[in-house]
Structure 1
Protein backbone atom coordinates (compact mmCIF):
# COMPACT_ATOMS: atom_id res chain seq x y z
CA UNK A 1 0.00 0.00 0.00
CA UNK A 2 2.85 2.34 0.85
CA UNK A 3 4.54 1.62 -2.49
CA UNK A 4 1.34 2.47 -4.39
CA UNK A 5 1.05 5.72 -2.52
CA UNK A 6 4.66 6.60 -3.21
CA UNK A 7 4.17 5.82 -6.88
CA UNK A 8 1.06 7.99 -7.02
CA UNK A 9 2.96 10.88 -5.38
CA UNK A 10 5.74 10.56 -7.92
CA UNK A 11 3.21 10.58 -10.75
CA UNK A 12 1.56 13.68 -9.31
CA UNK A 13 4.94 15.44 -9.00
CA UNK A 14 5.83 14.43 -12.55
CA UNK A 15 2.52 15.79 -13.82
CA UNK A 16 3.05 19.08 -11.93
CA UNK A 17 6.59 19.42 -13.33
CA UNK A 18 5.36 18.73 -16.85
CA UNK A 19 2.58 21.32 -16.40
CA UNK A 20 5.03 23.96 -15.06
CA UNK A 21 7.45 23.24 -17.91
CA UNK A 22 4.61 23.56 -20.43
CA UNK A 23 3.62 26.93 -18.91
CA UNK A 24 7.23 28.22 -19.08
CA UNK A 25 7.68 27.03 -22.66
CA UNK A 26 4.33 28.52 -23.66
CA UNK A 27 5.30 31.87 -22.06
CA UNK A 28 8.65 31.88 -23.84
CA UNK A 29 6.98 31.13 -27.16
CA UNK A 30 4.44 33.93 -26.60
CA UNK A 31 7.25 36.39 -25.74
CA UNK A 32 9.21 35.40 -28.84
CA UNK A 33 6.07 35.78 -30.94
CA UNK A 34 5.46 39.24 -29.44
CA UNK A 35 9.04 40.29 -30.28
CA UNK A 36 8.69 38.99 -33.82
CA UNK A 37 5.36 40.79 -34.24
CA UNK A 38 6.87 44.03 -32.86
CA UNK A 39 9.81 43.84 -35.29
CA UNK A 40 7.44 43.03 -38.10
CA UNK A 41 5.28 46.04 -37.16
CA UNK A 42 8.34 48.36 -37.15
CA UNK A 43 9.49 46.97 -40.49
CA UNK A 44 5.98 47.29 -41.92
CA UNK A 45 5.79 50.93 -40.79
CA UNK A 46 9.23 51.59 -42.31
CA UNK A 47 8.22 49.88 -45.58
CA UNK A 48 5.09 52.02 -45.76
CA UNK A 49 7.04 55.23 -45.04
CA UNK A 50 9.74 54.21 -47.53
CA UNK A 51 7.12 53.55 -50.20
CA UNK A 52 5.47 56.92 -49.47
CA UNK A 53 8.81 58.80 -49.67
CA UNK A 54 9.78 56.93 -52.84
CA UNK A 55 6.45 57.92 -54.36
CA UNK A 56 7.02 61.55 -53.33
CA UNK A 57 10.53 61.58 -54.80
CA UNK A 58 9.22 60.05 -58.02
CA UNK A 59 6.45 62.64 -58.15
CA UNK A 60 8.89 65.50 -57.47
CA UNK A 61 11.28 64.16 -60.13
CA UNK A 62 8.50 63.95 -62.72
CA UNK A 63 7.20 67.42 -61.85
CA UNK A 64 10.73 68.85 -61.88
CA UNK A 65 11.39 67.28 -65.28
CA UNK A 66 8.27 68.97 -66.62
CA UNK A 67 9.43 72.33 -65.24
CA UNK A 68 12.89 71.82 -66.79
CA UNK A 69 11.30 71.32 -70.21
CA UNK A 70 8.99 74.29 -69.72
CA UNK A 71 11.73 76.64 -68.51
CA UNK A 72 13.99 75.49 -71.37
CA UNK A 73 11.24 76.25 -73.91
CA UNK A 74 10.82 79.69 -72.34
CA UNK A 75 14.56 80.39 -72.59
CA UNK A 76 15.43 80.04 -68.89
CA UNK A 77 18.57 78.52 -67.36
CA UNK A 78 18.13 74.82 -66.46
CA UNK A 79 21.70 73.64 -65.63
CA UNK A 80 21.24 73.71 -61.84
CA UNK A 81 17.84 72.00 -62.13
CA UNK A 82 19.32 69.09 -64.12
CA UNK A 83 21.94 68.57 -61.38
CA UNK A 84 19.17 68.68 -58.77
CA UNK A 85 17.08 66.12 -60.67
CA UNK A 86 20.04 63.71 -60.82
CA UNK A 87 20.49 64.13 -57.05
CA UNK A 88 16.81 63.31 -56.42
CA UNK A 89 17.09 60.18 -58.59
CA UNK A 90 20.17 59.08 -56.63
CA UNK A 91 18.36 59.59 -53.30
CA UNK A 92 15.34 57.60 -54.52
CA UNK A 93 17.59 54.73 -55.64
CA UNK A 94 19.38 54.75 -52.26
CA UNK A 95 16.02 54.58 -50.47
CA UNK A 96 14.86 51.65 -52.62
CA UNK A 97 18.08 49.74 -51.89
CA UNK A 98 17.73 50.22 -48.13
CA UNK A 99 15.42 47.35 -47.13
CA UNK A 100 16.07 47.30 -43.37
CA UNK A 101 14.44 49.97 -41.16
CA UNK A 102 16.63 53.11 -41.18
CA UNK A 103 15.09 55.94 -39.16
CA UNK A 104 17.96 58.41 -39.81
CA UNK A 105 17.68 57.99 -43.59
CA UNK A 106 13.91 58.47 -43.52
CA UNK A 107 14.17 61.65 -41.39
CA UNK A 108 16.89 63.12 -43.63
CA UNK A 109 15.00 62.45 -46.86
CA UNK A 110 11.71 63.68 -45.36
CA UNK A 111 13.36 67.06 -44.66
CA UNK A 112 14.82 67.17 -48.15
CA UNK A 113 11.42 66.41 -49.70
CA UNK A 114 10.01 69.49 -47.95
CA UNK A 115 12.85 71.57 -49.39
CA UNK A 116 12.24 70.19 -52.89
CA UNK A 117 8.53 70.97 -52.66
CA UNK A 118 9.32 74.59 -51.72
CA UNK A 119 11.74 74.79 -54.67
CA UNK A 120 9.01 73.56 -57.04
CA UNK A 121 6.73 76.35 -55.81
CA UNK A 122 9.50 78.88 -56.47
CA UNK A 123 9.87 77.48 -60.00
CA UNK A 124 6.13 78.00 -60.59
CA UNK A 125 6.65 81.71 -59.91
CA UNK A 126 9.66 81.79 -62.25
CA UNK A 127 7.72 80.02 -65.02
CA UNK A 128 4.80 82.42 -64.63
CA UNK A 129 7.18 85.38 -64.96
CA UNK A 130 8.89 83.88 -68.02
CA UNK A 131 5.51 83.16 -69.63
CA UNK A 132 4.34 86.67 -68.95
CA UNK A 133 7.54 88.09 -70.39
CA UNK A 134 7.31 85.88 -73.49
CA UNK A 135 3.63 86.71 -73.96
CA UNK A 136 4.37 90.42 -73.66
CA UNK A 137 7.17 90.15 -76.19
CA UNK A 138 5.01 88.20 -78.63
CA UNK A 139 2.10 90.63 -78.31
CA UNK A 140 4.33 93.65 -78.66
CA UNK A 141 6.06 92.16 -81.71
CA UNK A 142 2.74 91.24 -83.34
CA UNK A 143 1.29 94.69 -82.81
CA UNK A 144 4.54 96.48 -83.68
CA UNK A 145 4.17 98.67 -80.57
CA UNK A 146 7.76 98.73 -79.50
CA UNK A 147 10.98 99.57 -81.23
CA UNK A 148 14.32 97.83 -81.03
CA UNK A 149 15.52 99.69 -77.92
CA UNK A 150 12.38 98.85 -75.95
CA UNK A 151 12.70 95.20 -76.97
CA UNK A 152 16.31 95.12 -75.80
CA UNK A 153 15.32 96.66 -72.48
CA UNK A 154 12.64 94.01 -71.95
CA UNK A 155 15.08 91.19 -72.76
CA UNK A 156 17.65 92.72 -70.42
CA UNK A 157 15.09 92.93 -67.62
CA UNK A 158 14.08 89.30 -68.18
CA UNK A 159 17.73 88.22 -68.12
CA UNK A 160 18.27 90.15 -64.90
CA UNK A 161 15.29 88.49 -63.25
CA UNK A 162 16.59 85.10 -64.37
CA UNK A 163 20.03 85.99 -63.00
CA UNK A 164 18.47 86.95 -59.67
CA UNK A 165 16.56 83.65 -59.54
CA UNK A 166 19.74 81.69 -60.21
CA UNK A 167 21.61 83.78 -57.64
CA UNK A 168 18.99 82.94 -55.00
CA UNK A 169 19.27 79.23 -55.79
CA UNK A 170 23.08 79.43 -55.67
CA UNK A 171 22.99 81.26 -52.33
CA UNK A 172 20.57 78.70 -50.88
CA UNK A 173 22.89 75.86 -51.95
CA UNK A 174 26.00 77.37 -50.33
CA UNK A 175 27.37 75.60 -47.29
CA UNK A 176 27.95 77.06 -43.80
CA UNK A 177 30.39 76.01 -41.09
CA UNK A 178 29.00 75.76 -37.55
CA UNK A 179 30.37 74.84 -34.12
CA UNK A 180 33.80 76.24 -35.08
CA UNK A 181 36.40 75.42 -32.42
CA UNK A 182 40.12 76.22 -32.35
CA UNK A 183 42.63 74.37 -30.13
CA UNK A 184 46.33 74.79 -29.55
CA UNK A 185 48.38 71.60 -29.21
CA UNK A 186 51.45 71.63 -26.96
CA UNK A 187 54.63 69.60 -27.33
CA UNK A 188 53.08 66.72 -25.34
CA UNK A 189 50.07 66.55 -27.65
CA UNK A 190 47.62 68.08 -25.18
CA UNK A 191 44.83 70.19 -26.68
CA UNK A 192 43.43 73.39 -25.20
CA UNK A 193 40.62 75.43 -26.73
CA UNK A 194 40.87 79.18 -27.07
CA UNK A 195 43.69 81.70 -26.69
CA UNK A 196 47.22 80.68 -25.76
CA UNK A 197 50.67 82.01 -24.96
CA UNK A 198 53.37 82.30 -27.62
CA UNK A 199 55.64 79.74 -25.98
CA UNK A 200 52.86 77.15 -25.59
CA UNK A 201 52.40 75.92 -29.16
CA UNK A 202 53.34 75.96 -32.77
CA UNK A 203 50.51 73.67 -33.80
CA UNK A 204 46.74 74.37 -33.94
CA UNK A 205 43.64 72.25 -34.57
CA UNK A 206 40.43 73.58 -36.15
CA UNK A 207 37.17 71.58 -35.99
CA UNK A 208 33.67 72.38 -37.28
CA UNK A 209 30.50 70.88 -38.73
CA UNK A 210 29.02 71.49 -42.17
CA UNK A 211 25.49 72.75 -41.49
CA UNK A 212 22.47 70.91 -42.92
CA UNK A 213 21.36 72.15 -46.34
CA UNK A 214 18.39 70.37 -47.93
CA UNK A 215 18.75 72.32 -51.21
CA UNK A 216 22.44 71.56 -51.84
CA UNK A 217 23.05 68.40 -53.91
CA UNK A 218 25.34 65.55 -52.90
CA UNK A 219 28.63 66.63 -54.45
CA UNK A 220 32.38 66.84 -53.95
CA UNK A 221 33.97 70.01 -52.55
CA UNK A 222 37.41 71.33 -51.66
CA UNK A 223 37.30 72.56 -48.05
CA UNK A 224 40.15 74.96 -47.23
CA UNK A 225 41.26 77.03 -44.27
CA UNK A 226 43.17 80.31 -44.40
CA UNK A 227 45.15 81.01 -41.22
CA UNK A 228 45.52 84.80 -41.26
CA UNK A 229 48.23 86.33 -39.03
CA UNK A 230 47.97 89.68 -37.16
CA UNK A 231 49.46 91.49 -40.20
CA UNK A 232 46.64 90.22 -42.43
CA UNK A 233 48.75 87.71 -44.35
CA UNK A 234 47.73 84.09 -44.98
CA UNK A 235 50.21 81.66 -43.38
CA UNK A 236 51.45 79.64 -46.34
CA UNK A 237 53.96 76.79 -46.67
CA UNK A 238 53.82 74.39 -49.66
CA UNK A 239 55.94 71.86 -47.77
CA UNK A 240 53.23 71.69 -45.09
CA UNK A 241 50.29 71.23 -47.47
CA UNK A 242 49.48 74.83 -48.42
CA UNK A 243 48.50 75.86 -51.94
CA UNK A 244 46.65 78.45 -54.00
CA UNK A 245 43.42 78.95 -55.97
CA UNK A 246 41.92 81.67 -58.15
CA UNK A 247 38.87 83.86 -57.58
CA UNK A 248 37.85 86.22 -60.40
CA UNK A 249 41.25 85.69 -61.98
CA UNK A 250 43.16 86.61 -58.82
CA UNK A 251 45.38 84.14 -56.99
CA UNK A 252 44.69 83.47 -53.33
CA UNK A 253 46.47 81.19 -50.87
CA UNK A 254 45.19 78.59 -48.44
CA UNK A 255 46.94 77.17 -45.39
CA UNK A 256 45.48 73.65 -45.58
CA UNK A 257 42.92 71.79 -47.70
CA UNK A 258 41.00 68.52 -47.84
CA UNK A 259 38.47 67.14 -50.32
CA UNK A 260 35.08 65.80 -49.16
CA UNK A 261 31.74 64.62 -50.55
CA UNK A 262 28.88 66.57 -48.97
CA UNK A 263 26.05 64.23 -47.89
CA UNK A 264 23.98 66.52 -45.63
CA UNK A 265 24.87 64.54 -42.48
CA UNK A 266 26.34 67.51 -40.52
CA UNK A 267 29.81 66.14 -41.28
CA UNK A 268 32.50 67.08 -38.75
CA UNK A 269 35.83 68.12 -40.26
CA UNK A 270 39.16 68.58 -38.50
CA UNK A 271 42.31 70.39 -39.65
CA UNK A 272 45.63 70.14 -37.80
CA UNK A 273 48.34 72.61 -38.91
CA UNK A 274 51.92 72.48 -37.65
CA UNK A 275 53.44 75.91 -38.30
CA UNK A 276 56.94 74.63 -37.56
CA UNK A 277 57.74 77.68 -35.42
CA UNK A 278 56.15 79.75 -32.68
CA UNK A 279 53.19 81.98 -33.48
CA UNK A 280 53.76 85.72 -33.29
CA UNK A 281 51.68 87.53 -30.68
CA UNK A 282 48.42 89.12 -31.78
CA UNK A 283 44.95 88.32 -33.09
CA UNK A 284 44.51 85.57 -35.70
CA UNK A 285 41.61 84.62 -37.97
CA UNK A 286 40.73 81.19 -39.35
CA UNK A 287 38.69 81.60 -42.56
CA UNK A 288 36.91 78.41 -43.70
CA UNK A 289 36.21 78.11 -47.45
CA UNK A 290 34.21 75.71 -49.61
CA UNK A 291 35.73 75.74 -53.12
CA UNK A 292 36.03 79.55 -53.46
CA UNK A 293 33.44 81.01 -51.08
CA UNK A 294 33.51 81.65 -47.34
CA UNK A 295 31.73 79.19 -45.00
CA UNK A 296 32.65 80.71 -41.63
CA UNK A 297 35.31 82.48 -39.55
CA UNK A 298 36.93 81.67 -36.19
CA UNK A 299 39.40 83.74 -34.17
CA UNK A 300 42.04 83.25 -31.48
CA UNK A 301 44.72 85.32 -29.75
CA UNK A 302 48.36 84.61 -29.00
CA UNK A 303 49.71 86.48 -25.98
Structure 2
Protein backbone atom coordinates (compact mmCIF):
# COMPACT_ATOMS: atom_id res chain seq x y z
CA UNK A 1 0.00 0.00 0.00
CA UNK A 2 1.51 3.40 -1.06
CA UNK A 3 2.18 6.14 1.60
CA UNK A 4 2.23 8.99 -0.86
CA UNK A 5 -1.27 9.90 -0.09
CA UNK A 6 -2.62 13.37 -0.21
CA UNK A 7 -2.66 13.46 3.54
CA UNK A 8 1.01 12.56 3.77
CA UNK A 9 1.96 15.14 1.19
CA UNK A 10 0.04 17.73 3.13
CA UNK A 11 1.83 16.82 6.34
CA UNK A 12 5.23 17.08 4.65
CA UNK A 13 4.38 20.55 3.38
CA UNK A 14 3.31 21.59 6.81
CA UNK A 15 6.53 20.20 8.25
CA UNK A 16 8.70 21.93 5.66
CA UNK A 17 6.81 25.17 6.22
CA UNK A 18 7.31 24.87 9.95
CA UNK A 19 11.02 24.25 9.48
CA UNK A 20 11.29 27.31 7.26
CA UNK A 21 9.50 29.40 9.86
CA UNK A 22 11.87 28.08 12.55
CA UNK A 23 14.94 28.77 10.38
CA UNK A 24 13.71 32.24 9.55
CA UNK A 25 13.02 32.89 13.23
CA UNK A 26 16.46 31.62 14.22
CA UNK A 27 18.07 33.74 11.54
CA UNK A 28 16.12 36.76 12.70
CA UNK A 29 17.18 36.11 16.26
CA UNK A 30 20.82 35.78 15.17
CA UNK A 31 20.62 39.00 13.17
CA UNK A 32 19.06 40.80 16.15
CA UNK A 33 21.67 39.43 18.52
CA UNK A 34 24.49 40.48 16.17
CA UNK A 35 22.97 43.96 15.97
CA UNK A 36 22.69 44.17 19.73
CA UNK A 37 26.28 43.00 20.10
CA UNK A 38 27.50 45.57 17.57
CA UNK A 39 25.50 48.30 19.26
CA UNK A 40 26.89 47.32 22.63
CA UNK A 41 30.42 47.23 21.24
CA UNK A 42 29.98 50.68 19.74
CA UNK A 43 28.53 51.95 23.00
CA UNK A 44 31.47 50.53 24.94
CA UNK A 45 33.87 52.10 22.43
CA UNK A 46 32.11 55.43 22.87
CA UNK A 47 32.30 55.10 26.63
CA UNK A 48 36.01 54.33 26.42
CA UNK A 49 36.49 57.28 24.08
CA UNK A 50 34.65 59.59 26.48
CA UNK A 51 36.67 58.27 29.41
CA UNK A 52 39.92 58.78 27.50
CA UNK A 53 38.89 62.32 26.60
CA UNK A 54 37.93 63.04 30.20
CA UNK A 55 41.28 61.64 31.38
CA UNK A 56 43.31 63.79 28.94
CA UNK A 57 41.30 66.86 29.86
CA UNK A 58 41.92 66.19 33.53
CA UNK A 59 45.63 65.75 32.88
CA UNK A 60 45.69 69.13 31.10
CA UNK A 61 43.86 70.72 34.04
CA UNK A 62 46.47 69.37 36.47
CA UNK A 63 49.34 70.44 34.21
CA UNK A 64 47.89 73.95 34.13
CA UNK A 65 47.46 73.93 37.92
CA UNK A 66 51.07 72.81 38.42
CA UNK A 67 52.32 75.54 36.05
CA UNK A 68 50.29 78.19 37.90
CA UNK A 69 51.54 77.12 41.32
CA UNK A 70 55.12 77.15 40.00
CA UNK A 71 54.49 80.67 38.66
CA UNK A 72 53.33 81.74 42.12
CA UNK A 73 56.46 80.23 43.65
CA UNK A 74 58.65 82.16 41.21
CA UNK A 75 56.78 85.40 41.93
CA UNK A 76 57.29 84.95 45.67
CA UNK A 77 60.98 84.13 45.14
CA UNK A 78 61.33 87.31 43.05
CA UNK A 79 60.05 89.23 46.09
CA UNK A 80 62.55 87.44 48.32
CA UNK A 81 59.87 85.31 49.98
CA UNK A 82 59.57 81.57 50.55
CA UNK A 83 56.40 79.51 51.04
CA UNK A 84 56.76 75.90 52.18
CA UNK A 85 53.02 75.20 51.83
CA UNK A 86 53.16 76.28 48.19
CA UNK A 87 56.03 73.90 47.50
CA UNK A 88 54.01 71.13 49.20
CA UNK A 89 51.05 71.86 46.89
CA UNK A 90 53.30 71.60 43.84
CA UNK A 91 54.61 68.23 45.06
CA UNK A 92 51.04 66.96 45.66
CA UNK A 93 49.88 68.05 42.20
CA UNK A 94 52.93 66.41 40.63
CA UNK A 95 52.04 63.15 42.41
CA UNK A 96 48.41 63.40 41.19
CA UNK A 97 49.65 63.98 37.65
CA UNK A 98 51.74 60.84 37.80
CA UNK A 99 48.68 58.89 38.98
CA UNK A 100 46.47 60.34 36.23
CA UNK A 101 48.98 59.47 33.54
CA UNK A 102 49.03 55.94 34.92
CA UNK A 103 45.31 55.58 34.03
CA UNK A 104 46.29 55.57 30.36
CA UNK A 105 47.27 51.97 30.93
CA UNK A 106 44.41 50.94 33.20
CA UNK A 107 40.76 51.64 33.87
CA UNK A 108 39.74 55.22 34.70
CA UNK A 109 36.52 54.78 36.67
CA UNK A 110 33.77 57.27 37.36
CA UNK A 111 34.82 57.41 41.02
CA UNK A 112 38.35 58.27 39.91
CA UNK A 113 36.95 61.00 37.67
CA UNK A 114 34.94 62.49 40.53
CA UNK A 115 37.86 62.26 42.94
CA UNK A 116 40.33 64.07 40.69
CA UNK A 117 37.72 66.61 39.57
CA UNK A 118 37.00 67.50 43.21
CA UNK A 119 40.69 67.75 44.01
CA UNK A 120 41.26 69.96 40.97
CA UNK A 121 38.47 72.28 42.12
CA UNK A 122 40.03 72.48 45.59
CA UNK A 123 43.45 73.25 44.08
CA UNK A 124 41.81 75.93 41.93
CA UNK A 125 40.40 77.64 45.02
CA UNK A 126 43.80 77.57 46.71
CA UNK A 127 45.36 78.97 43.55
CA UNK A 128 42.86 81.83 43.48
CA UNK A 129 43.46 82.66 47.15
CA UNK A 130 47.23 82.61 46.68
CA UNK A 131 46.96 84.87 43.59
CA UNK A 132 44.99 87.39 45.65
CA UNK A 133 47.59 87.17 48.42
CA UNK A 134 50.46 87.68 45.97
CA UNK A 135 48.65 90.59 44.34
CA UNK A 136 48.31 92.26 47.75
CA UNK A 137 51.97 91.59 48.49
CA UNK A 138 52.96 93.22 45.20
CA UNK A 139 50.85 96.27 46.02
CA UNK A 140 52.41 96.46 49.48
CA UNK A 141 55.88 96.11 47.96
CA UNK A 142 55.15 98.89 45.48
CA UNK A 143 54.05 101.14 48.33
CA UNK A 144 57.16 100.22 50.31
CA UNK A 145 59.35 100.74 47.25
CA UNK A 146 57.82 104.17 46.67
CA UNK A 147 58.23 105.08 50.33
CA UNK A 148 61.79 103.74 50.30
CA UNK A 149 62.56 105.71 47.14
CA UNK A 150 61.10 108.85 48.68
CA UNK A 151 63.10 108.16 51.85
CA UNK A 152 66.30 107.68 49.87
CA UNK A 153 65.60 110.87 47.92
CA UNK A 154 65.04 112.75 51.17
CA UNK A 155 68.14 111.16 52.65
CA UNK A 156 70.16 112.13 49.57
CA UNK A 157 68.89 115.69 49.81
CA UNK A 158 69.70 115.78 53.50
CA UNK A 159 73.15 114.34 52.80
CA UNK A 160 73.70 116.92 50.07
CA UNK A 161 72.50 119.66 52.41
CA UNK A 162 74.72 118.34 55.19
CA UNK A 163 77.67 118.16 52.78
CA UNK A 164 76.95 121.72 51.68
CA UNK A 165 76.68 122.82 55.30
CA UNK A 166 79.92 121.06 56.16
CA UNK A 167 81.60 122.63 53.17
CA UNK A 168 80.23 126.02 54.19
CA UNK A 169 81.32 125.43 57.78
CA UNK A 170 84.75 124.33 56.60
CA UNK A 171 85.01 127.50 54.53
CA UNK A 172 83.82 129.61 57.46
CA UNK A 173 86.20 127.81 59.81
CA UNK A 174 89.03 128.37 57.38
CA UNK A 175 88.12 132.04 57.10
CA UNK A 176 87.95 132.31 60.87
CA UNK A 177 91.26 130.47 61.12
CA UNK A 178 92.88 132.82 58.65
CA UNK A 179 91.28 135.83 60.30
CA UNK A 180 92.51 134.66 63.71
CA UNK A 181 96.08 134.39 62.42
CA UNK A 182 98.50 136.17 64.73
CA UNK A 183 100.92 138.77 63.41
CA UNK A 184 104.39 139.39 64.80
CA UNK A 185 105.31 143.06 64.56
CA UNK A 186 108.46 145.07 65.23
CA UNK A 187 110.70 142.02 65.00
CA UNK A 188 114.14 143.00 66.28
CA UNK A 189 117.34 140.92 66.44
CA UNK A 190 119.75 141.87 69.24
CA UNK A 191 123.34 140.67 69.40
CA UNK A 192 124.74 139.68 72.75
CA UNK A 193 128.55 139.43 72.85
CA UNK A 194 130.65 137.38 75.24
CA UNK A 195 130.71 140.25 77.74
CA UNK A 196 126.91 140.35 77.79
CA UNK A 197 126.57 143.61 75.93
CA UNK A 198 123.73 143.95 73.45
CA UNK A 199 123.58 145.59 70.06
CA UNK A 200 120.39 145.93 68.05
CA UNK A 201 120.03 145.34 64.32
CA UNK A 202 119.97 149.03 63.32
CA UNK A 203 123.05 148.42 61.24
CA UNK A 204 121.74 145.00 60.22
CA UNK A 205 125.32 143.71 60.11
CA UNK A 206 127.42 142.18 62.90
CA UNK A 207 130.70 140.39 63.21
CA UNK A 208 130.06 136.65 63.51
CA UNK A 209 133.04 136.11 65.83
CA UNK A 210 131.69 138.53 68.38
CA UNK A 211 128.26 136.94 68.60
CA UNK A 212 127.65 134.87 71.71
CA UNK A 213 123.83 134.84 71.82
CA UNK A 214 120.92 136.21 69.87
CA UNK A 215 117.72 137.72 71.25
CA UNK A 216 114.72 138.09 69.00
CA UNK A 217 112.10 140.54 70.27
CA UNK A 218 108.66 141.12 68.76
CA UNK A 219 105.13 142.17 69.59
CA UNK A 220 101.85 140.55 68.71
CA UNK A 221 99.35 142.72 66.86
CA UNK A 222 95.81 143.05 68.17
CA UNK A 223 93.39 140.46 66.78
CA UNK A 224 89.81 140.44 68.03
CA UNK A 225 89.01 137.21 66.16
CA UNK A 226 91.78 135.14 67.72
CA UNK A 227 90.77 133.29 70.86
CA UNK A 228 92.35 134.21 74.16
CA UNK A 229 93.99 130.93 75.03
CA UNK A 230 97.33 129.19 75.52
CA UNK A 231 99.39 129.09 72.33
CA UNK A 232 102.88 128.17 71.14
CA UNK A 233 105.18 130.23 68.94
CA UNK A 234 107.99 128.48 67.04
CA UNK A 235 111.21 130.24 65.94
CA UNK A 236 113.26 129.03 63.01
CA UNK A 237 116.71 130.55 62.51
CA UNK A 238 117.91 129.71 59.02
CA UNK A 239 121.63 129.97 58.29
CA UNK A 240 123.11 131.24 55.02
CA UNK A 241 123.29 127.68 53.62
CA UNK A 242 119.49 127.34 53.97
CA UNK A 243 119.46 124.92 56.91
CA UNK A 244 117.60 125.71 60.10
CA UNK A 245 119.61 125.71 63.33
CA UNK A 246 118.60 122.52 65.15
CA UNK A 247 119.88 121.21 68.46
CA UNK A 248 117.83 118.92 70.68
CA UNK A 249 119.88 119.91 73.71
CA UNK A 250 118.78 123.54 73.34
CA UNK A 251 115.08 122.69 72.85
CA UNK A 252 114.86 122.25 69.09
CA UNK A 253 112.35 119.86 67.53
CA UNK A 254 109.75 119.53 64.79
CA UNK A 255 106.24 120.85 64.20
CA UNK A 256 103.76 120.56 61.35
CA UNK A 257 102.87 123.10 58.69
CA UNK A 258 100.24 122.06 56.11
CA UNK A 259 100.66 118.42 57.13
CA UNK A 260 104.45 118.39 56.70
CA UNK A 261 107.09 118.18 59.43
CA UNK A 262 109.35 121.20 59.80
CA UNK A 263 112.36 121.74 62.07
CA UNK A 264 112.26 124.60 64.59
CA UNK A 265 115.17 126.15 66.45
CA UNK A 266 113.30 127.10 69.61
CA UNK A 267 109.77 127.49 70.92
CA UNK A 268 107.92 129.15 73.75
CA UNK A 269 104.45 128.85 75.20
CA UNK A 270 102.35 131.85 76.12
CA UNK A 271 98.74 132.86 76.73
CA UNK A 272 97.37 135.15 74.04
CA UNK A 273 95.46 138.02 75.67
CA UNK A 274 95.13 140.45 72.73
CA UNK A 275 97.06 143.20 74.53
CA UNK A 276 99.84 143.56 71.95
CA UNK A 277 101.99 141.58 74.33
CA UNK A 278 105.76 141.51 73.81
CA UNK A 279 107.58 138.19 73.45
CA UNK A 280 111.23 137.26 72.90
CA UNK A 281 113.61 134.37 72.25
CA UNK A 282 117.17 134.23 73.55
CA UNK A 283 119.19 131.69 71.62
CA UNK A 284 122.69 130.36 72.36
CA UNK A 285 124.18 128.31 69.54
CA UNK A 286 127.15 127.20 71.67
CA UNK A 287 129.26 127.46 68.51
CA UNK A 288 130.54 130.10 66.13
CA UNK A 289 127.89 131.51 63.80
CA UNK A 290 128.35 131.39 60.06
CA UNK A 291 128.94 134.49 58.02
CA UNK A 292 126.20 135.70 55.73
CA UNK A 293 122.51 136.47 55.77
CA UNK A 294 120.42 134.74 58.40
CA UNK A 295 116.64 134.50 58.36
CA UNK A 296 114.37 134.42 61.40
CA UNK A 297 110.86 132.94 60.90
CA UNK A 298 108.11 132.92 63.52
CA UNK A 299 105.16 130.46 63.40
CA UNK A 300 101.97 130.03 65.43
CA UNK A 301 98.76 128.03 64.88
CA UNK A 302 100.16 126.61 61.64
CA UNK A 303 100.86 130.03 60.09
CA UNK A 304 104.00 132.04 59.39
CA UNK A 305 103.33 135.13 61.53
CA UNK A 306 106.51 137.08 60.97
CA UNK A 307 109.92 137.10 59.30
CA UNK A 308 113.13 139.15 59.32
CA UNK A 309 116.75 138.86 58.25
CA UNK A 310 120.13 139.93 59.63
CA UNK A 311 123.70 139.67 58.34
CA UNK A 312 126.80 138.45 60.11
CA UNK A 313 130.19 139.44 58.68
Question: TM-score, normalising length from structure 1?
Answer: 0.48
Bigger Rg, which one: 2
Question: TM-score, normalising length from structure 2?
Answer: 0.47
